[in-house]
Structure 1
Amino acid sequence: MADLSDTPAGMISRLDESLQKHGEDATLKRGATSVAVRASVRPIRPEQLAGDIDETFNNVILSPTQLNAAAWTFPVKKGDKFVEASGKERNVEFPKHIRVGNTLVRIELLVGG
């Protein structure tokens, strides 16, 4: 059961549980390094359409848990690769790291390609 406390650890625990129940398997890659992750992958919202961003882009939510366990070198960066369960490789275009205090609790990515 998820930690329901209003702490960074509780927030991460709830995100992990949600991704386990409703997310999908994926892989985050940088060079020869790859980490299996659970991810929420959703289409972008209409208000995000601008410039080179089109309807082929997706919003992705990751937990730091699996990346920490694999000793991933943070932060997730533009140019890292996100590989969907189908095997389709996408480019990380806009990574956003959500922190509470000094603790990373959530990673949001805009992926395309």
Structure 2
Amino acid sequence: MQDRYTILAVFEYSTEAQVVKAKLESEGVKTMLMDEKTIDSDPLISQAIGGVKLLVHNNDLENAATIYNEIRNYTKDENGNNIHCPKCDSTKILVADLQRKNIFFMLFPFFESRKLICNDCKTIFK
């Protein structure tokens, strides 16, 4: 039987991935990193190849996701306070991926406002 792994998270630098990998392995979760050596040898290509991928064995995926959600850094406001979801009042808020459908925002991305997404209820808000 072949071992199956799923991507749990993607990091820009391998040091960030190593910290999370160490925490998961200390909890008994089977993990491995993909593209770590490539990005370590040339960090400027991190965006081009999609960053360092943290892979988790499928048998440990649910447990790993729970542990990762407990330790990950969530978005704060300008004063360092937690941001609350307007729908469920959760503080597990992340910056949402930008959906650039307009050519103007593709050419001038700095005019696009930041959107946030709740990690619990998946509500997107500003």
Q: TM-score, normalised by structure 1?
A: 0.35
Bigger strand fraction: 1
Q: TM-score, normalised by structure 2?
A: 0.32
Quick check: which has more Rg, 1 or 2?
2
Greater RCO, 1 or 2 (C-alpha within 8 Å, sep 6+): 1
